[in-house]
Structure 1
């Protein structure tokens, strides 16, 4: 697959980047699209394996939200709702009016909020490694879980992407956004989502525990949980083939014919 085309888009008074890959002509409906949203401190880069696999079958969009990746930092801290408004506005500018929305980690909060703001545009919602479990709502608990994940359950390549993106994000913007993430009532807000919801977690993920993800799926009006063995929090990078297949199946998108996948290197 060729590299995604990058669009610099201003929406809701903020500047972000959208990376676009159009699927080859095939059985997927013309209006179908999948949109990928990163979590705190990172960018589209740790979604790139998943993006490439999905783009074989469906139009795929990855977004670098304002303040992340190579986008400029906003002048003030943005609440979750403002990030959601940016997502919806940027996609509208690109003519993407209905889509499957996929968020990872804090990106799951942005995805939930977007589904609440404009429910008619989001046909399915996929939450990968969602945060924050209200039973572990302290920065120290989250930091310890993330440390365990990076030490024991991540590949060298996922750690390299995540920590270089953290460096690009910078400690000031990261900490400002962290406060927003910790205060967002994910379990409460998901109850208002009308779209079907798929919660995906790596079976070894210490950040998004099995109990928490099960509760979150149960709180959704139409929720289900999928655990993927042999990986931690960055499930979409380390088990991209399985995650892509789950998303396409959940969205009832017929996957493009492809050779039997080989295990990707770490």
Structure 2
């Protein structure tokens, strides 16, 4: 009986340790790279200090346990969907949905590193909207199928000006425009900052926030999304592999995320 009890105790201890090893979330971490721990044998893929990858790895998160809020202040109480909430303002209008939060993240990064001239998005009708033009005082006038720049205000370049520009981008861009604008990439070449894009009305977009690899070349990655109606950007759980969640294994085939299904053919790059 004592021997059986000893075996049971060892089994339970081993089971608890295994469960602990599968928990890759550090509740004290306040950024992506601090909050999400690595599986044994994996190393983060790190870019240069000014890279989009480094920017995403250091994106601030709300405190552990915080829930996603919609633009109107109501709560998205779905713990099976997300594991953390990204600390990024989404405003009080139903504008920043899935493609929009990805574009928000990209524009915020480019602005931070002084690459304002690279902030440009193509509207669904094909019109190229560059932030540099907006900062010079031009505004986008849409009349029926015609879109053009109209000089309207004095030149100004600051965060408030970027915000008004992005509100227009959120209104006239989406998963469909991104699917036409971005470059399709093979799944083996995915890096942080790439996206999963299903163009449509509605479609869906998710952003690769972080990646790691082991000595054998296997890669894992993290995904974040916004959704409809407009809501805070969230770091996703992995419904396909709870033991690896929130990490996803990079491989060919179906990619089942909490609120959308993609395939490895859906990877694209800014």
Task: Verify same fold: TM over 0.5.
Answer: no
Higher helix share: 1
TM-score of the two chains, using structure 1 as the length reference? 0.28
Computing the radius of gyration over CA atoms, which structure comes out larger, 1 or 2? Answer: 2
Higher strand share: 2
TM-score of the two chains, using structure 2 as the length reference? 0.28
